[in-house]
Amino acid sequence: MIQKFALGTALVVSVLALAFYLKEHPSLQKRIYSPEEIHVKITGPVKNPGIYTMESGATGKDLIERAGGLLPHVHVSLEENSLEQLLVDGQAIDLGKR
């Protein structure tokens, strides 16, 4: 009985540790997800706004890079943290006025 409890506890701790590690390392997170394609839209002060096909697991930073990057002398007031979140199919990101 104690061995089953210890094994169950070890399994739960392992899963939680993996989830925390993946949250802190988004680049690894992208490699784990399937290569399913998603379609996302970006508008605002990027060189090439529009709709892009991205791999599942892409982030807002990846989308900005794919859109050619930010225009020169532009400061985007989004939290750095929000650009690290994974994009979902059909999502639209508006970075403000161009």
Residues 57, 21 within the same domain:
no
Domain count, the chain: 2
Dump pLDDT digits (tens) for 25-69: 666 655 555 568 999 999 999 999 999 999 888 999 999 999 999
**Domain CATH for 75:** 3.10.20.600
Residues 16, 58 within the same domain:
no
95 or 20, which is more confident: 95
* Angstrom distance (rounded) from CA 60 to CA 58: 7
Per-residue pLDDT at 5 exceeds 80? no
* Structural domain range at position 13: 1-32
* Angstrom distance (rounded) from CA 55 to CA 34: 8
Residues 60, 84 within the same domain:
yes
Confidence (pLDDT) at 51: 97
Per-residue pLDDT at 82 exceeds 90? no
- For the ranges 3-17, 28-42, 47-61, 72-86, the one whose mean pLDDT is highest: 47-61
